[in-house]
């Protein structure tokens, strides 16, 4: 293709024009499904109606309606236009040819209520260039518009299952299947990867029948296959949300007439109400729903039954995930043991809590780490929400003799004098090459870690094995619980933090509560 003119590619819906810069073809704001507006609100995504002529794809498009994220220490917020018409994707590719490059589809995080595929930390340039790969980032519906089950509370008049955001992700993967060859990608080698709610989405897609065959490898970062709520709990959440907006369940017209701005404002009020008065509804009231159809069972159970056979998994977490969330917790620094126990009882059956605290106290003391009640609470929450779900997904794959690789990111953030530790989201800048000094740090060690992380992720996307020259051999997770520690020093370790892990073995998933 003539690189002196802007590139035009024909998709199944029509032609799109991107741009060529610094060795990459870039296309932004491509619609992958019809706008979910009007009568399409709260319904599964539908194909985009074909257009005539050439559609401009040189700039990012609108993102899903959302409140500004509360935790902004990672980087300064970027104010992007928001509308319900938000189902767009962006891609970076080294060539518009038949090279059949590996494809990496990024699913952003944000607690299922925020974020976008066009966030400044998710630029696909570095991965596409270093890995000779095609990188795709997507938007999907969020919060009350994407993850609220209205079917039960409205008697089917609004048939939303609460999985519409996930169905958007599947629609994006179908677009990739049907179009990525025209952008130099290999339809038979697609890796999905995501962090936090994006990682949880990746873990859930492993279990969804509609997603079967649309991807071939998966990288859930700080999220695995243990985040989904029962239909009963989803119904309670919908009822409470309707109370918040002051609309009765049978007033369908009023519900559909709410503007996106009204929904987002109500969503903010609702989240505060849940935190203050309904803590047992969890930290993620908007999240995937086990509806018996789109998501038949808990994702981990589906994986155990072989739903994601032949999909290799690279899964992990950061060492101090909870460090980031403690920032918005005014009582964290002065937490007492009775208060910590009361908090844990929202998520863990009371009978198991004393044993957990004792196990963590002993293990941390043996390593010379802090055993303050705040630090014990943070370590338990880190493992409950992130590390143990990652371990259990790796275990499930290993028992099926399916390839799984496990990691723990140990690089500490320098922010706030280092008090955050290797916190939630610390690996993002290293994966995308977008790390900056305030949150991620800088210097030769940071550069080396980013190179090794990218090499491993790209190797996994190319051939299903993260082993690479810069990092060395990375064996599959097996009987020795082989785990790669990724930090200033990268090294393979068998069963790191094993004493804490063993403490969870006696706790069945049903006793761990929700998220």
The residue from 294, 307, 321, 427 that is catalytic is 321
According to DSSP, residue 176 is labeled H
The residue from 118, 196, 287, 317 that is catalytic is 196
CA distance 159 to 268: 24
Judge whether 34 and 47 are in contact, CB under 8 Å. Answer: yes
- The torsion angle over the Cα atoms of residues 389, 394, 396 and 401, rounded to 10 degrees, is 180
- Is 442 considered catalytic here? no
Judge whether 31 and 91 are in contact, CB under 8 Å. Answer: no
The residue from 307, 406, 424, 427 that is catalytic is 424
Tell me the three state secondary structure of residue 224.
coil
Tell me the three state secondary structure of residue 318.
strand
Tell me the three state secondary structure of residue 264.
helix
CA distance 86 to 76: 22
| Four-residue CA torsion sign, 143, 145, 149, 153 | positive
Half-sphere exposure of 449 (CA within 13 A, CB side): 26
CA distance 224 to 391: 9
DSSP bridge partners of 405: 314
User: Residue 423 corresponds to which tokens in the numbers above?
Assistant: 């916190």
- Is 196 considered catalytic here? yes
User: Residue 273 corresponds to which tokens in the numbers above?
Assistant: 């109400």
- Is 216 considered catalytic here? no
Tell me the three state secondary structure of residue 69.
coil
Q: Which helix (H) or strand (E) holds 131?
A: helix 125-131
Half-sphere exposure of 4 (CA within 13 A, CB side): 0
Tell me the three state secondary structure of residue 435.
coil
Active-site residues: which are they? 196, 321, 424
């Amino acid at each position: 293709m003539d690189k002196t003119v802007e590139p035009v590619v024909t998709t199944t819906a029509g032609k799109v024009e991107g741009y060529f810069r610094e060795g990459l073809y870039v296309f932004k704001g491509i619609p992958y499904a019809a706008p979910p507006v009007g009568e399409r609100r709260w319904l599964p995504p539908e194909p985009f109606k074909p257009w005539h002529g050439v559609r401009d794809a040189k700039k990012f498009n609108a993102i899903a309606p959302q409140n500004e994220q509360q935790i902004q220490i990672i980087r300064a917020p970027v104010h992007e236009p928001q509308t319900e018409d938000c189902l767009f994707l962006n891609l970076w590719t080294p060539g518009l040819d038949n090279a059949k490059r590996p494809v990496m589809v990024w699913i952003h995080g944000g607690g299922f209520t925020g974020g976008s595929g066009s966030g400044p930390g998710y630029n696909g340039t570095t991965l596409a260039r270093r890995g000779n790969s095609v990188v795709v980032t997507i938007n999907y519906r969020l919060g009350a518009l994407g993850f609220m089950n209205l079917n039960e509370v409205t008697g089917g008049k609004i048939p939303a299952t609460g999985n519409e955001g996930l169905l958007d992700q599947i629609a994006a993967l179908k677009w990739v299947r049907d179009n990525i060859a025209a952008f130099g990608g290999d339809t038979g080698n697609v890796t999905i990867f995501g962090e936090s709610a994006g990682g949880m989405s990746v873990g859930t897609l492993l279990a969804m029948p509609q997603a079967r065959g649309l991807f071939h490898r998966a990288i859930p970062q700080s999220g695995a296959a243990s985040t989904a709520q029962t239909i009963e709990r989803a119904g309670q959440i919908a009822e409470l949300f309707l109370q918040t907006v002051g609309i009765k369940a049978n007033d369908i017209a009023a519900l559909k007439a709410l503007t996106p701005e009204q929904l987002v404002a109500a969503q903010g009020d609702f989240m505060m109400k849940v935190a203050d008065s309904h803590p047992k509804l969890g930290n993620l009231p908007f999240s995937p729903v086990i509806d018996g159809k789109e998501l038949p069972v808990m994702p981990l159970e589906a994986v155990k039954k072989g739903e994601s056979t032949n999909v290799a998994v690279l899964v992990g977490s950061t060492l101090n995930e909870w460090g980031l969330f403690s920032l918005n917790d005014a009582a964290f620094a002065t937490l007492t043991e009775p208060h910590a126990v009361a908090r844990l009882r929202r998520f863990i059956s009371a009978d198991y809590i004393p044993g957990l605290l004792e196990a963590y106290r002993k293990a941390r003391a043996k390593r010379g780490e802090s055993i303050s009640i705040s630090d014990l609470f943070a370590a338990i929450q880190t493992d409950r929400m992130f590390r143990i779900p990652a371990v259990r997904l790796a275990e499930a794959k290993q028992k099926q003799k399916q390839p799984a690789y496990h990691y723990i990111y140990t690089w500490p953030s320098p922010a706030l004098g280092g008090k955050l530790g290797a916190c939630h989201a610390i690996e993002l800048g290293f994966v995308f090459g977008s790390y900056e000094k305030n949150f991620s740090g800088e210097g030769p060690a940071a550069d080396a870690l980013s190179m090794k992380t990218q090499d491993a992720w790209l190797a996994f996307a190319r051939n299903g094995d993260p082993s690479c020259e810069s990092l060395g051999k990375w064996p599959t997770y097996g009987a020795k619980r082989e785990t790669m520690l990724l930090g200033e020093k990268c090294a393979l370790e068998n069963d790191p933090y094993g004493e804490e892990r063993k403490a969870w073995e006696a706790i069945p998933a049903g006793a761990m509560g929700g998220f």
